[in-house]
Amino acid sequence: MVNKDFFLALEDLEAEKGISREVFIETLENALVIAYKRNSGVSGGVEVRLNPDKAKIQIFSVRNVVEVVEDKEREISLEDARLIKKTCKPGDVISEEIFPKDFGRIAAQTAKQVIMQKLRETERDNTITEFSGKENQIMNCIVRRIEDKTVFVEIGKGEIEGVLLPNDQVPGEKYELNQKVKVFVKRVRNSGRTAQIQVSRTAAGLVSRLFENEVPEIRQGIVEIKAISREAGARTKIAIHSIDPNVDAVGACVGNKGARVNAIVQELNGEKIDIVLWSEDPLEYIAKALSPAKVIRVSAIEGEKVATVVVPDDKLSLAIGRDGQNARLAARLTGWKIDVKSESKAQAELEADIASAREGLED
């Protein structure tokens, strides 16, 4: 290991992995000092020098020149020092090359460990650098491993591994080896020895980025995404607003014959998408958020973000949705608590209130 091939290998690693040879050498020198001390039991001054030009690794005992020696491993008497260098004086530092037995084997083992560690550190740092600016972005990836319910994907040009945890997987979606999928980069996490890319198929941000990719008006900032509420695999509501009165926000997102929104639905494996026009008027916004149900009227409790929505009797189930999903998503989208009632029930309650009020007046 301690020969020209070793130093040539460092040059190759510098070219391939972008790791400075000087950094490698400095790290290895420090590691060899530790390895030598551990192997020899020496605790004093030791210095290791790697010489790439001569393809040599040398080890030196380093001691301070003193008049009276108190620590033999760290100090050398002036008399003994002048046998090595005649001009020595107290306070100087004298280095003397030593040739420990079996040091070549120690050097080879240590070099291998240092190289492997440095490669891991570099890959981690490169991953963090590459992906730190790509959080909250969509990236294409390929499924490479599936362990239990966790899916590992190959992501980016550097073939970095991303992790798709069970809670980031869309219910009902099946993943197969070598399958190509789009994922949302949630976060890049430095986990010590490695960097981990956490990706998602359930994040609302995935829908947002898909619309940005498909709708030029959103990329240009003409149409804004105000809010998204999503139950992955089932339904998404997205609230949009056009800052240009001449641009139809819904039409821009739907596209010619539904081409744009259909492309997004296809990427989401058939997930339903409701495109809602955002409004500054919260009651109008709530009515639109309950799409596709028709709303008769919306009223609110003053000072509280609680709204009562009245819908036709035959639209009640549509407004509420299966298991309450439509009303639940509308509430998340608007940030209001929404109580949906049928027209007949609302009318009955109104009549009951009027009757109760009359009884109170008569009393």
- Token digits of residue 287: 């009515």
The pLDDT score that the predictor gives to residue 270 is 94
Q: How many residues does the chain have?
A: 363
**How is 313-362 classified by DSSP, letter by letter?**
GGGHHHHH-GGGHHHHHHHHHHTSEEEEEEHHHHHHHHHHHHHHHHHHHH
Q: Distance (Å, rounded) from C-alpha 16 to C-alpha 344?
A: 74
Q: Distance (Å, rounded) from C-alpha 49 to C-alpha 110?
A: 14
- Token digits of residue 109: 């083992």
Q: Distance (Å, rounded) from C-alpha 241 to C-alpha 224?
A: 5
The pLDDT score that the predictor gives to residue 95 is 82
Cα torsion 146, 147, 153, 159: sign? negative
- Token digits of residue 107: 């050097």
Domains in the chain and their CATH numbers? Answer: 4-130 (3.30.1480.10), 134-200 (2.40.50.140), 204-278 (3.30.300.20), 283-363 (3.30.300.20)
From the list 1, 113, 100, the residue with the least C-alpha distance to 50 is: 1
Instruction: Please give the angle made by the CA atoms of 146, 119 and 130, to the nearest 5 degrees.
Output: 65
From the list 128, 135, 101, the residue with the least C-alpha distance to 190 is: 128
Contact status, residue 261 vs residue 250, Cβ threshold 8 Å: no
Model's pTM, two decimal places?
0.67
Estimate to the nearest angstrom the gap between the alpha carbon of 102 and the chain centroid. Answer: 47
The pLDDT score that the predictor gives to residue 251 is 96
The pLDDT score that the predictor gives to residue 1 is 40
Residue 91 backbone class (left: φ over 0; alpha: ψ -120 to 50; beta: rest)? left
Cα torsion 312, 313, 318, 322: sign? positive
The pLDDT score that the predictor gives to residue 243 is 96
Helices 21-40 & 4-17 angle (0-180, nearest 10): 130
Rounded (to 5) percent helix, strand, coil in the chain: 45, 30, 30
The pLDDT score that the predictor gives to residue 245 is 93
- Token digits of residue 190: 């430095």
Q: Kindly report the number of other CB atoms within 10 A of residue 71's CB atom.
A: 13
**Residue holding tokens 């990236």?**
139
**Residue holding tokens 């009884």?**
359
49 strand-pairing partners: 58
Contact status, residue 260 vs residue 274, Cβ threshold 8 Å: no
Q: Distance (Å, rounded) from C-alpha 114 to C-alpha 209?
A: 42
The pLDDT score that the predictor gives to residue 190 is 66
Helices 259-267 & 204-214 angle (0-180, nearest 10): 140
| pLDDT tens track, the chain, 363 positions | 455 666 777 777 777 666 677 777 787 788 878 877 777 777 678 888 887 777 777 888 888 888 888 888 788 888 888 888 888 888 888 887 877 777 667 767 776 777 777 777 776 676 667 676 778 889 899 999 999 899 999 886 656 788 999 999 999 899 999 999 999 999 877 665 566 789 999 999 999 999 999 999 999 999 999 999 999 999 999 999 999 999 999 999 999 999 999 999 999 999 999 999 999 999 999 999 999 999 999 999 878 899 999 999 999 999 999 999 999 999 999 999 999 999 999 888 777 877 776 766 665
Burial 212-228 (b: 16+ CB within 10 A, else e): bbbbebbeeebbebebb
**Residue holding tokens 């003053």?**
302
- Token digits of residue 204: 């609302």
